[in-house]
Structure formats: structure tokens, C-alpha cells
Amino acid sequence: MRSMIPDYLTEALGDVEPDTSGEQAAYIPELAAADPDRLGAVFATVDGKVYGAGDTDTEFTIQSISKPFTYALALGDRGFDPVLAKVGVEPSGEAFNEISLESETGRPRNPMINAGAITAHSLAGPADMDPAERVERVVHGLSAFAGRRLGMDDAVCASEMEHAHRNLAIAHMLRSHGILTEDARAVVEGYTRQCSVLVTARDLAMMAATLANRGVNPLSGEQVIREPVVRQVLSVMATCGMYDAAGDWATQVGIPAKSGVAGGLIGALPGQIGIATFSPRLDPHGNSVRGVSLFERFSSDMGLHVMEVPAAARAVVRSNHVVGSGPDALRVFQLQGGIGFAAVERVVRETVDTAPAEARVALDLTMVHSLDDVARRMLLEIVRRLTLDGHEVYLVDPESIIPDPDPGDGGRVTVVGRLDQARTA
């Protein structure tokens, strides 16, 4: 059988292709000269499978899509507090190049607008780095997200620098507030080089998939950034990634995203996929016209909106029964599926409501396929409390889904691979 996913992507591209509305960014002359008809879309799953259609391997400059990744590098290199002291996380509702800072603190409102992104660039790498080393730190980091060494378009960079008056104005203003502590022009040059990094839609999908995959590049296996940083970056993408169109995007598409003026657009759906589209004509917000249409379509066709409420989990307690009789009687709670807070709460309720009369109790995890940290801790607390109530507790856990279970203070548990080992114990 042939996969239907590339066919679906081809069909979606065909639907948006006739739309030639919008304009290329004129303020970077080199970008205005690019082929406006390019069109591509790529899905990259969190386990590294890539599906694409159209112009998946055409290189273009990353532009503002570099912003969430550089913000991630700054958070990783400097830590949260120093970065948050200089760049806020409030959606500004303003255009990407608005010259505005928070009135009391002088901070840029968020790292997705240019003021915040220029600041975030200055915070990548250690404080005493020279500007060229900092650019290398950033390119190296962006490359790690993509899983290959990325190049740079010097012509686009020079073209933007020649007309960078607005970004220079922003940088000088940041410098006057003490948010930037380095030479304003050098920081804008570094930031412009960062924006001139060359990527393909395939690279962008992989970069987004790295965010969707808790910071681990699905192909290289490298942990590029830690999970708390991923959560921070995805949150800021969700609230600020589409500039003054962020609210429309959040309601209609609902995927943490970032656009760039060269026509790229990415979305990262936590735990599922990274998506990238490429189409250079932009709407008045500076977002790719056909890219936005494609994302609207992907989101509704495939139920990718992050606020889509999942079907209520199938009963986590598959059965609650007693095997054996007399003093050997064993109360068995057989659990199933993926267990998070809401599911483990059902297990707590079940164990409380059917307060086991039997001295021996087994929690059978054979059919549990995943367990988050909260669920693991609460299951161990169930074990501890049952022990304190005088029960002998068994964990049937053939695949060590809870490695080295330690129910803590006063708790005791015997781990077995099969239920019959608890029956005969």
C-alpha cells in the first residue's frame, strides 16, 4: 500500500496554489527578488518520519523563524531569570517590527517581536562572547535543531543590513535602557546573520519536530534543549508567534507557530509532529498567505488544534476483582492505557471506594503503555497508603514501567512480572 499522507499534502498544495494574493517583503530587496511561486509543505513526526510535497528542498532564509530557537538557546545558555529580566512573555498585539518597550522596565514585551529577538540574540552564549563567536553559537544551535549544518545567505544579509534602520533604531533604544549592553550595531548585525541562515521546509519541519519531541532531534537523537525550555518556547510561540494575528491564529489553527518574512511558517504540535510550509507572498501581518491557508486546513482536517479536547480516556481500571479465597484472596486492580493525572485519579477513587477487604492487593500494570510522572508518584502513594492500612501490595510490572519503585515512608511493595506470581506468593 502507498501512504496517503504525501497524497494528502499534494492535494492541499493544489488547493492553495491558485491563491497569488499577498506581497513579498519589500524592505529586504534581496527577498523581493525571490521566486514568489514556490510552494511546499512538510510533516515530520516525533519519531523522525518525514512527509513532504512541492518545494521541500528549496533553500530560503529562516528570518523570524529563528526567533523561538535563539530564545531557546539563550534560556539554555544563561538560565531563565537573566533572560526573563530582559525579555518579557506578554503578547504585544503589535507588528513584528514595532518600536515599543514595556514602559516601567524598558524590556521588550516578548522574544518573537524584533525588539525581543534582538535582545535574545545578545543573550545566546556566554556574556563575554565576541559578536562573530555569538553568531557561530547561534548557527551551531539552529543546526542542532535541524540535524544538519546550516549555511547562510550573505547576499540577503547584506541586503537587509543596508536597510536595517528600523532594527538599528530598536537596538539603540534597547541600549539606552540598558537591556542591550553591547554595541548596538554589532548586535543587529549578528541578529541579521541569524535571520539569514538558509533552511528548507524539510529543515524547518525537523526543527519544529525537535520542539514537539521534548527538545530531542528525532533523527540525531541529540537533546538540543531541556524540557522546561521547550515548554517556555512553545508557550511563547502559542501566544506571540503570529504577531498581531496571534488571536486569530490561536482560535482558528491552534498550533504553536512562527512565521518568517521569507515565506516560511512552522508549527509544533507537542508529542505529535512538526509542520513547515514555504510560500513567499505575505499578508499585511507579514505571515505567508498560502502558509496560513495550509495550516488552517491541516488543523481542521486532522484535528490538530491543541485545545481539541481528547475523547475521555477509556476506563483506566479494566477490571477490579478478587482471585483466590480465604487468607490467600488477592484483590486485583487491572489498569490499562496511558495514565496521567485524570486517569490516576480514577484509580485512587476505585481503590478508596472499594476499600479492599483482602489483605493482599495487586496493581496490575501489564496493559499500561505509558505513565507520566504524576501518575507514577500517585500510584506509589496508593501503594504506600495501602501498606499503612495493613495490606501486602504487589505491582505486576513486566516491562518495568515503574523502574525501581519506591513507595517511600512506610510503604512496601513486591514487584512481579506476572499476576500468577502474586497469586502464589
Residues designated catalytic: 64, 67, 191, 243, 261
From the CB of 298, what's the least distance to ligand GLN, in Å?
21
# residues contacting ligand GLN (CB under 6 A):
11
Please say which residue, 59 or 350, places its beta carbon nearer to ligand GLN: 59
Grid coordinates representing 30 are: 534581496
From the CB of 161, what's the least distance to ligand GLN, in Å?
10
Site for ligand GLN in 339-398 (CB under 6 A): none
Grid coordinates representing 114 are: 524584533
Please say which residue, 89 or 161, places its beta carbon nearer to ligand GLN: 161
From the CB of 276, what's the least distance to ligand GLN, in Å?
14
Interface residue with ligand GLN, options 30, 77, 153, 160 (CB under 6 A): 160
Q: Residue with C-alpha cell 491564529?
A: 249
Q: Which residue is nearest to ligand GLN (CB)?
A: 64
Please say which residue, 195 or 229, places its beta carbon nearer to ligand GLN: 195
The closest of 408, 392, 411, 401 to 335, measured between CA atoms, is: 401
Please say which residue, 213 or 259, places its beta carbon nearer to ligand GLN: 259
From the CB of 287, what's the least distance to ligand GLN, in Å?
9
Q: Does 167 bind ligand GLN (CB under 6 A)?
A: yes
Please say which residue, 256 or 286, places its beta carbon nearer to ligand GLN: 286
DSSP 320-374: EEEES-GGG-EEEEEEEEEE-HHHHHHHHHHHHHT---SSEEEEEEEEEEEE-HH
List, in sequence order, every beta strand (DSSP E) within 200-339.
257-259, 264-269, 273-278, 317-323, 330-339
Angle, CA of 149, 155 and 158, to the nearest 5°: 110
SS3 for 198?
Answer: strand
From the CB of 35, what's the least distance to ligand GLN, in Å?
18
Neighbour-count burial of 285, counting CB atoms closer than 10 A to its CB (0-12 exposed, 13-18 middle, 19+ buried):
middle
- CA–CA distance, 69 with 47 (Å, rounded to integer): 20
Q: Does 288 bind ligand GLN (CB under 6 A)?
A: no
Please say which residue, 245 or 304, places its beta carbon nearer to ligand GLN: 245
Residues 91-130, one symbol each (x = binds ligand GLN by CB under 6 A, - = not), give -----xx----------------x----------------
Interface residue with ligand GLN, options 124, 261, 275, 395 (CB under 6 A): 261
Q: Does 24 bind ligand GLN (CB under 6 A)?
A: no
Interface residue with ligand GLN, options 76, 190, 241, 260 (CB under 6 A): 260
From the CB of 160, what's the least distance to ligand GLN, in Å?
6
The closest of 7, 90, 9 to 42, measured between CA atoms, is: 9
Site for ligand GLN in 33-72 (CB under 6 A): 63-64
Please say which residue, 274 or 286, places its beta carbon nearer to ligand GLN: 286
From the CB of 141, what's the least distance to ligand GLN, in Å?
17
3-state SS, one letter per residue, for 74-104: HHHHHCHHHHHHHCCCCCCCCCCCCCCCCCC
50-54: strand order across its sheet: 50-54, 40-45, 273-278, 264-269, 257-259
Q: Residue with C-alpha cell 548557527?
A: 139
317-323: strand order across its sheet: 317-323, 330-339, 360-371, 392-396, 414-416
Interface residue with ligand GLN, options 139, 144, 195, 361 (CB under 6 A): 195
The closest of 388, 309, 319 to 342, measured between CA atoms, is: 309
The percent of the chain in helix, strand and coil, each rounded to the nearest 5, is 45, 15, 40
Q: Does 159 bind ligand GLN (CB under 6 A)?
A: no
From the CB of 194, what's the least distance to ligand GLN, in Å?
8
Question: Which distant-in-sequence residues (6+ apart) come within 8 Å of 369 by Cβ?
Answer: 337, 338
Please say which residue, 199 or 261, places its beta carbon nearer to ligand GLN: 261
Q: How far apart are the first and last CA of the chain?
A: 49
Strands 60-61 and 198-199 come out as antiparallel
Residues lying near ligand GLN in the complex (CB under 6 A): 63-64, 96-97, 114, 160, 167, 195, 260-261, 286
